[in-house]
Every structure is written in structure tokens, then in C-alpha cells.
């Protein structure tokens, strides 16, 4: 079987693909590495420019400007737009044009599009127009009833098009996500939506070297280190976590440090709030870090914490389980059911800030068994995820 995966990016530290260990890029890389030998995989990235490269387990198709230029004259379509929009439209058009030429030339059995960006939507429309077998994996779903962020309005339009105006099979990463789609779109047939939970690879790097100033935060510390990993934005809700910390007693704060890892999209507001709330000795913003460094933090942390308002799955939780770390999250996230184990999770039951405080205290005062949590992590082996993808591909081909 020959498939094309269309995704924002792919991560593989061995080939220098993305220095930052970010959720979806990591999942795409690990998924491709764990397909069976019966699956021939090409990957086309729509969110970052990559050269043509054979990874052994997958072939990256070039998305560099020099290979996209054939679509240049589509600029005529956008002459009424301002310069910024012209450039964005042009790039998406070039990406779409190049990818679609790859699809036509390589005769894939299935094109699997991961998430709905502008460029991915153009590719989806072109596949549908040419009757090319396509499946879409949603790693995030905002939904019609969500009040989270106007910046997701365009994504909601894309979601509605996919669900209401096409019959494309949809893969979702959690049961809660499927439930919300069926609630928002009651005419959608349940069998059209397939659930495949995310997974992670079991290997753990041996790197324990403290080679950077940021490692001083975890070296020979008596405090319990909590990791909050993810892009700093309104959806991930880190500002409420800072508010919760500001409500905690000094004796409680003295026992913990929370390290925030990820790109800050708040234009510095998040970092200013750390200072304004007097949390400089408790909350530390580290920015984006690479895989090796991140694994050092996992190996020296006490737990993983998230107060995300919309979390389809959450790679950080299962990575934490792999290192024997307990997790804390709201009990209404989409993957709450799949992720939960009383031996590995503290649920925040309600969104009030004081409940976050209570849950942090509970997380830190519970005696966790690292080996039991590691055993729980085996439920999320990426090989199982890859096997389920293959099964769905074959099912779709047989229809």
C-alpha cells in the first residue's frame, strides 16, 4: 500500500527535522517509523519548507520554494488583497499545487491529511475534485459551540466544510472528540468517524548531562518539579495556572517549581504576569527546547500539569507516563477517558481556579508508584497506533 501523509511538519532528531519537539510533528514522525513494511509512506509538509529526503521509513517530498514556483502565476487571483494576504495566499497556493502534482504523479492508494490548515484544505478540495481516496485525521476540534478564541473561527469553517459538505472518512484521536462532533453535527453517520488514540515510542534517551543554564532549575533540587508543556496561548490557558499559583500558600509554593515549555504567543503577557504576580521563584518560562533537553526534564520531574481548555489528546501526558510521571488535567478534556488511571492521574473537577489549587496540592501530596505509571504508559505504544491506522486504511480501500 502506498500512502501520502500531508501534515504541518515532521520531527526526527536523527535527520535534523525540527529542533523543537512539538506535539503533532513528533506524532507524525513516530507514526511513520512504526508502519509495517507493507506500507510505503511519503510525507508532504505544508507548514515548513523541507527538501527532498529519504528517511528509510518514509520519503519526504520537497516543499521548498524552488519546487513550488510552478504555481506562481496564481497570484493573479489575489490582486485585490493586501500584501500580507497576497503572500499567504500565494504560498498556500504554491504548496497545494506542488503537493497535488506529487499526488497525481505517484498514484497513492490513500492520502491522509492531518488537521485543517488553509493549505491542507486546498489539497483536500483538489483530492475530492479528482476522486482521490482521502482520509482526514483531526488532532484538534474546536466545534460550533466553543467560545474559545476568535482566532479559531477559520478552523471552525474548515471543520464544518469537512463534516457537513463531504463524506471523507475522519479519524479522531479521542472518544470525547468524536462525541462532540456527533453532538455538533447530528446528521453525521457515527461509522464515518474512527477513533485512534495517539501513541509514543518507548525508547528513552540516556542523556543526563546538565549542559545549559536552564538545567540548574532541576539539578540537585528539593522542590517538586512540575512540567507544563505546550504553546503559551489562551486555549492552553496557562494564565489561569499562574492565577492559581498566586492563590497558594507560601509554604505550598516553596515545595514546587513549574517549568513552562513552549512558544509564547501572548506577546510577552504571560512572562509579564509571572513578574507581576511575584512568581519568579516558582514559575519559569523556558521557551521551546529540543528533544534531548526535554527528555532530561522529564527524567528529573515530579509530574506533568495542564489546564488546557481544549485538548483533543495531549502528547505531554503520555510522554510523562512513559517516564513514570503522574498527570493533572481538567476532567472534561476530550481524551480524559482514554488517559485516565487512578494510579497515574489527578483530575481537576471543574474550571474554578481554586479547584486547580486543590488539585496541584493533591498531585504533590500523593505517593505515586513510578513503575505502575510506566506500566500504564504501555497502553499508548505508538506501534498499536500505527497498526490501527493500517487497519482503517485497508477498511477504507475495501469499501
Rounded Cα gap, residues 300 and 287, in angstroms = 18
Under the banding of pLDDT at 50, 70 and 90, the label for residue 219 is low
Q: What is the predicted pLDDT for the residue at 301?
A: 93
Say yes or no to pLDDT of 321 above 80: yes
Contacts of 265 (CB under 8 A, 6+ apart): 231, 232, 233
Q: What is the predicted pLDDT for the residue at 106?
A: 78
Mind listing the pLDDT tens digit for each residue in 13-51?
776 665 555 678 889 999 999 999 999 999 999 887 778
Contacts of 220 (CB under 8 A, 6+ apart): none
Say yes or no to pLDDT of 60 above 50: yes
Matching residue, cell 501572548: 266
Rounded Cα gap, residues 331 and 351, in angstroms = 9
Under the banding of pLDDT at 50, 70 and 90, the label for residue 284 is very high
pTM: 0.86
Segment 275-303 shows an average pLDDT of 89
Say yes or no to pLDDT of 137 above 90: yes
Say yes or no to pLDDT of 79 above 50: no
The CATH class of the 213-379 domain is alpha beta
Same fold, 2-201+381-398 and 213-379: yes
Under the banding of pLDDT at 50, 70 and 90, the label for residue 99 is confident
Q: By percentage, how much of the chain surpasses pLDDT 90?
A: 60
Q: By percentage, how much of the chain surpasses pLDDT 70?
A: 82
Domain map of the chain by residue range? Answer: 2-201+381-398, 213-379
Under the banding of pLDDT at 50, 70 and 90, the label for residue 62 is confident
Q: How far is CA 335 from CA 45, 105, 307, 313, 340, in A?
A: 26, 38, 13, 5, 8
Contacts of 32 (CB under 8 A, 6+ apart): 5, 10, 41, 43, 55, 57, 58
Contacts of 28 (CB under 8 A, 6+ apart): 5, 7, 9, 10, 11, 43, 114
On whether the CB atoms of residues 296 and 208 are closer than 8 A, the answer is yes
CATH code for the domain defined by 2-201+381-398: 3.40.50.2000
Q: What is the predicted pLDDT for the residue at 91?
A: 61
Tell me the pLDDT of the chain averaged across its residues.
Answer: 85
Written as nine digits, the cell of 268 is 510577552
Q: Does residue 320 or residue 208 have the better pLDDT?
A: 320
Q: Does residue 393 or residue 105 have the better pLDDT?
A: 393
Matching residue, cell 517509523: 33
| Strand, coil or helix: 147 | coil
Ranges of beta strands (E only) in 162-279 are 170-172, 193-195, 224-229, 256-261
Rounded Cα gap, residues 131 and 123, in angstroms = 12
Element spanning 93, H or E: helix 83-106
Segment 104-120 shows an average pLDDT of 90
373 Rama class: left (phi>0) / alpha (psi -120 to 50) / beta: alpha
Q: What is the predicted pLDDT for the residue at 64?
A: 64
Say yes or no to pLDDT of 151 above 70: no
Lowest-pLDDT choice from 41-45, 276-280, 294-298:
294-298
Q: What is the predicted pLDDT for the residue at 11?
A: 86
Lowest-pLDDT choice from 126-140, 205-219, 292-306:
205-219
Amino acid at each position: 500500500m502506498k500512502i501520502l501523509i500531508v501534515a504541518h511538519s515532521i520531527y526526527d532528531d536523527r535527520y535534523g527535522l525540527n529542533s523543537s519537539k512539538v506535539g503533532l510533528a513528533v506524532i507524525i514522525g513516530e507514526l511513520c517509523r512504526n508502519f509495517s513494511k507493507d506500507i510505503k509512506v511519503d510525507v508532504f509538509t505544508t507548514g515548513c519548507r523541507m527538501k527532498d529526503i529519504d528517511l528509510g521509513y518514509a520519503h519526504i517530498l520537497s516543499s521548498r520554494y524552488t519546487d513550488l514556483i510552478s504555481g506562481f502565476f496564481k497570484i493573479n487571483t489575489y490582486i485585490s488583497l493586501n500584501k500580507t494576504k497576497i503572500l499567504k495566499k500565494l504560498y498556500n497556493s504554491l504548496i497545494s499545487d506542488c503537493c497535488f502534482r506529487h499526488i497525481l504523479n505517484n498514484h497513492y492508494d490513500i492520502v491522509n491529511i492531518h488537521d485543517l490548515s488553509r493549505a491542507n484544505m486546498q489539497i483536500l478540495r483538489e483530492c475530492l475534485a479528482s476522486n482521490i481516496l482521502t482520509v482526514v485525521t483531526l488532532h484538534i476540534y474546536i466545534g460550533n459551540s466553543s467560545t474559545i478564541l476568535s482566532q479559531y473561527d477559520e478552523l471552525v469553517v474548515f471543520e464544518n466544510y469537512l463534516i457537513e459538505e463531504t463524506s471523507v472518512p475522519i479519524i479522531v484521536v479521542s472518544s470525547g472528540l468524536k462525541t462532540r462532533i456527533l453532538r455538533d453535527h447530528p446528521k453525521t453517520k457515527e461509522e464515518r468517524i474512527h477513533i485512534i488514540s495517539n501513541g509514543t515510542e518507548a525508547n528513552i534517551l540516556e542523556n543526563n548531562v546538565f549542559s545549559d543554564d536552564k538545567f540548574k532549575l532541576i539539578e540537585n533540587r528539593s522542590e517538586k518539579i512540575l512540567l507544563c508543556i505546550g504553546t503559551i496561548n489562551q486555549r492552553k490557558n496557562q494564565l489561569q495556572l499562574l492565577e492559581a499559583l498566586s492563590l497558594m500558600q507560601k509554604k505550598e509554593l516553596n515545595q514546587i517549581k513549574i517549568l513552562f515549555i513552549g512558544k509564547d504567543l501572548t506577546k510577552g503577557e504571560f512572562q509579564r504576569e509571572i513578574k507581576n504576580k511575584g512568581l519568579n521563584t516558582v514559575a519559569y518560562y523556558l521557551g521551546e527546547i529540543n528533544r534531548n533537553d526535554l527528555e532530561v526534564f522529564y527524567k528529573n520531574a515530579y509530574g506533568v500539569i495542564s489546564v488546557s481548555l481544549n485538548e483533543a489528546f495531549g502528547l505531554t501526558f503520555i510522554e510523562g507516563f512513559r517516564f513514570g510521571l503522574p498527570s493533572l488535567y481538567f476532567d472534561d478534556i476530550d481524551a480524559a477517558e482514554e488517559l485516565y488511571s487512578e494510579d497515574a492521574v489527578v483530575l481537576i473537577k471543574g474550571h474554578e481556579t481554586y479547584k486547580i489549587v486543590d488539585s496541584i496540592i493533591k498531585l504533590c501530596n500523593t505517593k505515586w508508584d513510578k513503575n505502575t505509571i510506566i506500566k500504564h504508559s504501555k497502553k499508548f505504544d505508538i506501534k498499536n497506533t500505527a497498526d490501527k491506522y493500517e487497519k482503517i486504511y485497508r477498511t477504507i480501500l475495501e469499501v
